[in-house]
Amino acid sequence: MASSEKACTIWFTGLPSSGKSTISVLVENEIGTRGRNVEVLDGDVVRTNLSKGLGFSKEDRDTNIKRIGFVCHLLTRNGAFAISAAISPYREIRDEVREMIGDFVEVFVDCPLEVCIKRDVKGLYKKAISGEIKEFTGISDPYEEPLNPEITVKTGDETPQESATKIIAKLEELGYLSQQGNTVDSGHAEELATVTL
């Protein structure tokens, strides 16, 4: 298999409402336009279909991430790009998934907590701060930033398109995509503006 045909798992990690889902869809669209197979495993969708019944204890969170990681492993092993857009707050389990998958590109979606709170259309941060929601990442539950991510996007300062373009450029640099020098299409950005998990 030529290097340009190799696939990887793109693993987004960051606080709730940092922009993971918005950027992941832009990256998915760009990879798809290049004729490559790509699937997004979004945190909310996974919890509804793959991890139904799991709570938010550390054990349940780890189980959720292991399940996502296993599906990503299968997809990547079979030549498809897998994009995980879950919070995945714990460093140890992310590293475990990295080891299992191998072709693993970690994207730290770095966004200040105050910006995430402002963006939160579901009002979850407000409920967590008031104590209505327990074990909420960034408020009552820890978030462990990656130590050496392949890519860091600063979504408090960058547009979703700028962040996505940075990710695509890194995938080209690493040999997972052929060099095209294109910027990511911004056509879907407005409709995705409120989808920031």
pLDDT in tens, 27-81: 999 999 999 999 999 767 776 767 666 777 788 888 889 999 999 999 999 999 9
Q: Within 13 Å of residue 129, how many CA atoms lie on the same side as its CB?
A: 8
Model pLDDT, residue 181: 59
| CATH topology (fold) of 7-178 | Rossmann fold (3.40.50)
Confidence of residue 156 (pLDDT cuts 50, 70, 90): very high
pLDDT score for 185? 58
Residue 30's pLDDT is what?
97
Q: Which residue has the tokens 């300062």?
A: 157
* 88 classed as catalytic: yes
Contact 72, 11 (CB under 8 A): yes
Q: How many CB atoms lie within 10 A of CB 89?
A: 22
DSSP SS3 for 120:
coil
Burial 68-77 (b: 16+ CB within 10 A, else e): bbebbbebbe
Q: Which among 21, 24, 84, 88 is annotated as catalytic?
A: 88
**pLDDT of the residue at 43:** 67
- Rounded to 10°, the helix 20-33/160-173 angle is 50
The model carries a pTM of 0.86
**Bridge partners, residue 104, by sequence:** 9
